[in-house]
Amino acid sequence: MGNKTVGIEVFAVAGDPEAIWMKGREPWLAGPLDADTTVHFAVQQQLVRHDIDPDDAELFVELPSFPKAGVVHSTSWRDVGPAVVLTYMVVVRVDGFVLGAWPDAVPVTPVLLAQTRKPLPHRAAAAPRSVYVSNVLTHGLRHLAFQTGQWGDVNIAAGLDRNMRRHLRQLKPGMAGMYSELADAS
Any domain includes 181? no
The CATH number for 24's domain is 3.90.79
Any domain includes 178? no
Any domain includes 27? yes
pLDDT at 152: 93
Any domain includes 180? no
* Amino acid found at 82: P
pLDDT average, residue stretch 36-51: 94
Any domain includes 69? yes
In b/e form, how buried is each residue of 3-39, taking b as 16+ CB within 10 angstroms? Answer: eeebbbbbbbbbbbeebbbbbeeebbebbebeeeeeb
Mean pLDDT for all residues in the chain: 90
% residues pLDDT > 70 (the chain): 94
Q: Which of 134, 133, 147, 135 is nearest to 175 (CA)?
A: 147
Any domain includes 177? no
Lowest mean pLDDT, pick from 26-30, 128-132, 134-138: 128-132
Domain residues for the domain of 121 are 5-168
Q: Count the domains in the chain.
A: 1
45 has pLDDT over 90: yes
Any domain includes 91? yes
SS3 99: helix
